[in-house]
Chain A
Amino acid sequence: MADAPLKTETADDGEGAESSPPRKGKPFGWSTFVIAMLVAISAALVWRRDGIDGVWTILLHDISLFGEIMPRVLAGCLLGGLIAAVLPHDKVSKSLGPESGLKGLLIGTAFGAILPGGPFTAYPVASALLAVGADFGATIALVVSWTLIGYGRAVAWEMPIMGADFTLWRIVISLPMPILAGALGRFVYVRVRHRFDL
């Protein structure tokens, strides 16, 4: 409540940014081109192997999957936008910034582990935190924690396919990794950021 003036500032930043929207990645860059080529070649190979029916089966399945995922992507984008707007910058940089120490890495790890949803939530939220003052280390801890110990993918995909024993065992092995990755990230970042203009 005490940082009401700060929130207004955040809103102003948002308004100002609107005239020149900050792009995180170009909608169609070289990476998209590479994937498009891979898809085209793969589709051609499937066509040669299984005929046009094979192509249709995969296409229809993937289009329905896309339809299923779309609302979640929208929710993730909106969540990222809201988190960036709501979180007070000074508090984020204090608890997740370069000076946040082990505590920042632990907060990042905990946040990554409880984040709901898939990549459509994790990356927009991580990007929002980076934008409002989290450093590379804490953000790495968050992303690595989401991918290795987050429950979303583990419950939805890993347990049914790999089995509960394997999944739990793999998660236990992975427990220290987000913190180690965040610490390593921080350690390397402060040493290379000038050289590589990071």
Chain B
Amino acid sequence: MTALIIDILLWGSLIGVGVIAWRQDKAVLTVALRKGGMDFVNIVPRIALGVIGSGFIAAIIPSEVIVGGLGPDTGWLGVATAVVAGAATPGGPVIGFSIGAVALKSGGGAPQVVAYVVAWALFAFQRLILWEIPFMPARFVWFRALVSIPFPFLAAAIVMMIGKP
């Protein structure tokens, strides 16, 4: 259901922007579509490797070790561990969030789990390499990742101040 809504929004926006381009100038539409198509062709091999391969990486990561490092008494060291673990977690959103959910259910600390989820969202290494770098200039990607480093810590600090939901 959610996937359907996302698809409708995605293709709907594509058609919407396509109509705008077509009304401006038909040549613009053709050139833009051809450029987008070329990007697609260039990117597919990397996406294929990442998507088809990440299941294997996810199957062997020791998620218990990650979960164990996110305990409530670990303090800032636990937050730092969470940030490193978030950056290192391979695989798609199912893996990242599942580890977070298990940590939360098995008594992980809220600041540590939030730091983990935020770090994973901001700079999971595999997503940087497989998705972000193929589409964007590499110097931007590394710069953005470096600038993002303080934010999982900030999120943990906010949680320590305001507490759990």
A interface residue numbers (CB < 8 A to B): 4, 7-8, 10-11, 14-15, 17-18, 21, 23-25, 27-28, 31-32, 34-36, 38-39, 42-43, 45-46, 49-50, 54-55, 58-59, 61-63, 65-66, 69-70, 72-86, 116-121, 123-124, 126-127, 130, 136, 139-140, 143-144, 147-148, 152-153, 155-158, 161-163, 165-166, 168-170, 173-174, 177, 180-181, 184-185, 188-189, 196, 198
Contact with A along B25-66 (1 / 0, CB 8 A): 101110111111111101111111111111111011000000
A25–B140 Cα distance when bound, in Å, is 12
A162: which of B21, B52, B90, B117 is its contact (CB, 8 Å)? Answer: B117
Residues of B within 8 A of A130 (CB): 136-137, 140
Please give me the residue from chain A that is nearest to B5 by CB atom: A155
B17: which of A49, A72, A83 is its contact (CB, 8 Å)? Answer: A83
Residues of A within 8 A of B45 (CB): 27-28, 32
A82–B129 Cα distance when bound, in Å, is 24
Report whether A79 and B118 are in contact in the complex, using a CB–CB cutoff of 8 Å.
no
16 contacts between A and B (CB under 8 A): A14-B32, A32-B129, A62-B51, A72-B6, A72-B7, A77-B40, A78-B37, A79-B14, A119-B135, A123-B132, A124-B39, A168-B165, A173-B162, A181-B147, A181-B148, A184-B150
Report whether B47 and A78 are in contact in the complex, using a CB–CB cutoff of 8 Å.
no
Provide the main secondary structure of the chain B interface: helix
**B residues contacting the other copy or chain, number (CB 8 A):** 87
A189–B144 Cα distance when bound, in Å, is 10
Report whether A27 and B9 are in contact in the complex, using a CB–CB cutoff of 8 Å.
no
Cβ-based interface call for B84 (8 A): no
Cβ-based interface call for B98 (8 A): yes
Residues of B within 8 A of A14 (CB): 28, 31-32, 35
Known: A81-B32, A85-B21. A188 touches B55 (CB 8 A): no
Known: A35-B50, A43-B56, A66-B51. A158 touches B136 (CB 8 A): no
Contact with A along B96-114 (1 / 0, CB 8 A): 0110110010000000001
Report whether A173 and B155 are in contact in the complex, using a CB–CB cutoff of 8 Å.
yes
Report whether A121 and B10 are in contact in the complex, using a CB–CB cutoff of 8 Å.
yes
Cβ-based interface call for B122 (8 A): yes
Please give me the residue from chain A that is nearest to B129 by CB atom: A31
> Considering the complex, which residues of chain B in the window 126-160 have a beta carbon less than 8 Å from any beta carbon of chain A?
126-127, 129-140, 143-144, 147-148, 150-151, 154-155, 158-159
A165–B101 Cα distance when bound, in Å, is 12
Determine which residue in B21, B117, B121 has the highest number of CB atoms from chain A within 10 A of its CB, and name it: B121
Report whether B144 and A170 are in contact in the complex, using a CB–CB cutoff of 8 Å.
no
